[in-house]
Structure 1
Amino acid sequence: MRSSQVISSITDRPERPGRSLITANHEVIRRWARERGAKPATIAGTERDGRAGVLTFHIPGYRESSRIREITWDEWFHTFDLRRLNLIYQEQLRDGRQSSFFRTESPDREDG
């Protein structure tokens, strides 16, 4: 997380292609997902107390799995905010092609 560039609004841009980025901004996350055709999702079987479990995105052709279950943005962000998560992601690969890399991370984790 320390080596990631913080993106706090949709007007912020990566310093260079391939840069690891981090955000908790809902608009930034929605824009990133929309540009990739990604839908908010969870991994089936990881739900707890009626809430989404592991948060992910369903991106056609990327990380396909029968365990990915699409959910609403409201559900996704409710869980994201409740767990105080950040999204670590890339806009582009080093060669300038669009990247679909992402992961959620808790800044409260000791190894985070």
Structure 2
Amino acid sequence: MSSSETTTDHDVIRQWIEQRGGIPTVVRGTQDDEGEGILRIDFAERDDALEEIPWEEFFETFEDRGLAFLYQDETKDGKESRFFRFVNR
């Protein structure tokens, strides 16, 4: 049986994302007056609608919005999972 966990630990989040080939991004054109956009993770199949951002900017937006990272390590059949969501704390 697979289960999900929630964290706000930046090191855990970054490690989970990087282990799966992901990079921190925002949706192009969604930045506000402070430069913060809608956060996304782009995996190996790069999406042109997303713009890569530095980890520092990613986590600043993550904290400013009071988010937590809900994620799953493995699927129920034991394969590596990419399931995640940004949720409110």
Same fold by TM-score greater than 0.5: yes
- Distance, in Å, in 1 between the alignment partners of 2:11 and 2:68 is 13
Give the greater-gyration-radius structure (CA). 1
Of structures 1 and 2, the one with the larger relative CO (CA 8 A, separation 6+) is 2
How do residues 29-108 of structure 1 correspond to structure 2 at under 5 angstroms? Answer: 29-61=13-45, 64-107=46-89
Q: Which runs of 4+ in 1 moved over 4 A?
A: none
Please list every run of 5 or more consecutive structure 1 residues that lacks an aligned counterpart in the other structure: 1-16, 108-112
Q: TM-score, normalised by structure 2?
A: 0.91
Give the match's secondary structure for 1:99. coil
Match of 1:18 in 2: 2
Q: Sequence identity, in percent?
A: 36
- Distance, in Å, in 2 between the alignment partners of 1:96 and 1:51 is 39
- Distance, in Å, in 2 between the alignment partners of 1:45 and 1:101 is 25
Deviation at 1:84, TM superposition (A): 1.0
Residues 11-41 of structure 1, C-alpha deviations (whole Å, 9 max, x = no match): xxxxxx5211111100100110111111111
